[in-house]
Structure 1
Amino acid sequence: MRDVLPDLLRWWQADEPVGLATVIRTWRSAPRQAGAALLVGPDDSVVGSVSGGCVEGAVYELCREVVKDGTPRVVRFGVSDDESWDAGLTCGGTVELYVERVDRRRFPDLDLVAATVAAGRPVATATCVDGPPGWCGRRIVVDPAGQRGTLGTATVDAAVAAEARALLRDGRCGVVRLPHSSAGPLSVMVVTYPSPARMLVFGATDFAAAVTRMGRFLGYRVTVCDARPVFATARRFPQAHEVVVDWPHRYLAAEAAAGRVDERTVVCVLTHDPRFDVPVLKHALELPLAYVGALGSRRTAQDRRRRLREVGVGEAALGRLAAPMGLDLGGHSPEETALSIAAEIVAVRGGGGGASLSRLPGRIHHQDG
């Protein structure tokens, strides 16, 4: 949903109705996960995707229909028959969508949502997709501190907001079901916009520039930090969200103390200098981070581990250190190295092993939606 938000806001500001299809749930190998969205604009243009192309034609027509009649609907697409002309998912999965008309009256707080997302603050929307007559399409906007709008009653709003905040903390989208609410059975689609996860790149090198570009491509908020002001400049790292001149371990400690790193944070140490990398790695391995890696040869990695043991880092913590960092892709250039590092980060985050899919049995996706 985040990727279609700018276009949705642009048409909303022009007071032009838009057809919006959002993935509610998926089963098996559906190509897009809950929260993915497709827009059909007032000029019949398409933005976004809900299936990677399998059912987009049918969804396009549904979006045009709901713009005309204003009636939201829930639709499901499953496995397609190769011999038929019916829309379906050739990947073998199933996807359930909520298709609605969006305009200023139906979504009066869209500008608030867009502004919150643009500021990097967490926010979620909760839209009733199944319930008593007149409830479908109602929505509330939820953030960690409060909520705006109503689904119908204060009791329902409070229950849905609590569930939405839990999904927001986990960075997941999904359906909240209230089978015994005061209004009757309800299903509410929650789309979350968590604050971006952070990538902290220590060492202002040419490899760091490539890693920064890759991190931004993956959706991280990227910070480059180096104690040497001549190298740590915004001009050298235009893709970084911020460039900081500070000792790496001191900067990481300050960010952790301020609560600005969490279990989604990725740390990439590219300094190749024990004065910098040993102190920052020691501190990083004491934090519950998603990934901690350090660039270098195997000889460098062995020497670094020896130095970390000497400053009190235990074997369990060392077991979390990816060094040499990256997957074995056979590359050499900064860009190829950055790709191997990014691949390892994605594999760690998603529970993958980094092997070729053509050589593995079973499902491609590790988690069902």
Structure 2
Amino acid sequence: MRDIVDGLAAWRADGVRFAVATVVRTWNSAPRQPGAAMAVNEHGEVLGSVSGGCVEGAVYAAAEETIKSKKAQQLTYGVSDGDAFEVGLTCGGTIELLIQPEVALIDLDDVLAAIRDGRPVATASIAGNQLVIWPDRTAGTLGDQGLDHAAEQQAAGMLAAGTTGTVRLGHHGEQRQEETEVFVQTFLAPPRMIVFGAIDFAGAVARIGGFLGYHVTVCDARPVFATRKRFPSADDLIVRWPHQYLESTTVDERTVLCVLTHDPKFDIPLLEVALRTPARYIGVMGSRRTHTDRMRRLREAGVSELQLSRLSAPIGLDLGARTPEETAVAIAAEIIARAWGGSGLPLTGLDAPIHG
């Protein structure tokens, strides 16, 4: 829902009624993941997407019904349904949607503000009821005190991990197959992309990082290059020795590090620090000759082979890229492939499901 937050906030400010359809579960080759959302307002305007175009027409009509009835509904679309071709889900997947009227969305203005500001919040929903879980309080109810407690405990763990999905909960905290299915959606601050080296390629990487939803930081020790004029799209611009900045900032399992300096005096101390972090991706620019020398220097510095195996170097997938923009696409493609387990191969030659 993060991508439609601003639109929802504007509708709220204008007093416009609407309904939000959220993907709560998928099977096979459904094109969007749980948490993807589409909103329809009383004037027929649409925000977002739940299937990349496959079932939007049917969801639009269902959302209009929800606005009028003010009652939530849970719907499933897929190839096993007799209506699959009618709603357009011809790509082979199945999606389950929860469609909620805005009047049923608890603490909505505060939730939207938290998502926009990057503050943690989670929602637990079943058709007709919603519980909002903040770090220090809860609001709303799922209709049962025991279920509320179970959902609160589950949501806290999922919020810490940044995961979203449908879980089965007992009413006293135990997870049992026969108990209530609850959709838990978590919202954290955007993941970080830290780009080291204020070169022309860094500008393109920063732009595509922002497009992918990362909070982008560009860091370089040279103030003549690390300027806001050169990097207007970066969220943060840091003039500092890269390894010193990395030692002082927060890096978690969602962080990606792109080292574009390909200069040993920057790279070696920076990578010694980077390889001690839990960063999900550490990509390093440079020719194969540069990388061979870099690996030698890191080994001499005491970096282990296991640590060195984490490096993606030379950075990016082999797309034949030449320009900074093409190179940024190659880097982004590798980051995405690493995150979701993609092969990086053309889909035309694969039999695996397109959407995982």
Give the TM-score of the pair, scaled to structure 2: 0.93
- Percent identity, aligned pairs only, is 53
Matches within 5 A, 1:223-302: 223-255=217-249, 260-302=250-292
| Residue pairs, 1:1-369, within 5 angstroms | 1-79=1-79, 86-103=86-103, 106-129=104-127, 136=128, 138-180=129-171, 185-255=179-249, 260-366=250-356
Counterpart-to-counterpart distance in 1, 2:180 and 2:114? 27
**Whole-angstrom distance in 2 between the partners of 1:293 and 1:240:** 18
Contact 2:18 2:102 in 1 (8 A): yes
CA contact (8 A) 2:120 2:134 kept: yes
User: Which deviates more, 149-158 or 321-330?
Assistant: 149-158
Distance 1:243 1:52, change over 3 A: same
Q: Return the offset for 1:85.
A: 5.7
For 1:242, the aligned partner's letter is: D
Shift of 1:234: 1.6
**What letter corresponds to residue 102 of structure 1 in structure 2?**
E
- The AA in structure 1 aligned to 2:117 is A
Query: The residue matched to 2:194 in structure 1 has which SS?
Result: strand
Where structure 2 has 5 or more consecutive residues not aligned to the other structure, the ranges are none
Q: Aligned-pair distance for 1:179?
A: 4.4
- The question of whether the paired residues in 2 share the 8 Å contact of 1:78 and 1:88 is answered with no
For 2:112, the aligned partner's letter is A
Structure 1 residue 41, shift from structure 2 partner: 1.2
Q: What secondary structure, in the 3-state scheme, does the structure 2 residue paired with 1:86 have? A: helix
Distance 2:22 2:42 in 1: 18
**TM-score after normalising by structure 1:** 0.90
Counterpart CA distance in 2 for 1:313 and 1:28 is 42
State the superposition RMSD in angstroms. Answer: 2.0
AA matched with 1:128: I
> Number of residue pairs matched?
352
User: Displacement of 1:88 after TM fit?
Assistant: 4.2
CA shift, 1:312, in A, is: 0.8
Task: Give the AA of the match of 2:259.
Answer: V
> What residue in structure 2 maps to residue 132 of structure 1?
none
Corresponding residue SS for 1:3? helix
Query: Could you say if the C-alpha distance between residues 361 and 287 of structure 1 is closer, same or farther in structure 2, counting changes exceeding 3 Å?
Result: same
Counterparts of 1:32 and 1:154, CA distance in 2? 32
> Once the 2 structures are TM-superposed, how far is the Cα of residue 123 of structure 1 from its aligned partner?
1.3
Give SS of 2:114's match: helix
Q: Tell me, what secondary structure is at the counterpart of 2:59?
A: helix
SS in structure 2 of the partner of residue 161 of structure 1: helix
Provide the rounded CA distance (Å) in 2 between the counterparts of 1:82 and 1:305: 58
Counterpart Cα distance in 1 of 2:351 and 2:63 = 37
1:144 corresponds to which letter in structure 2?
P
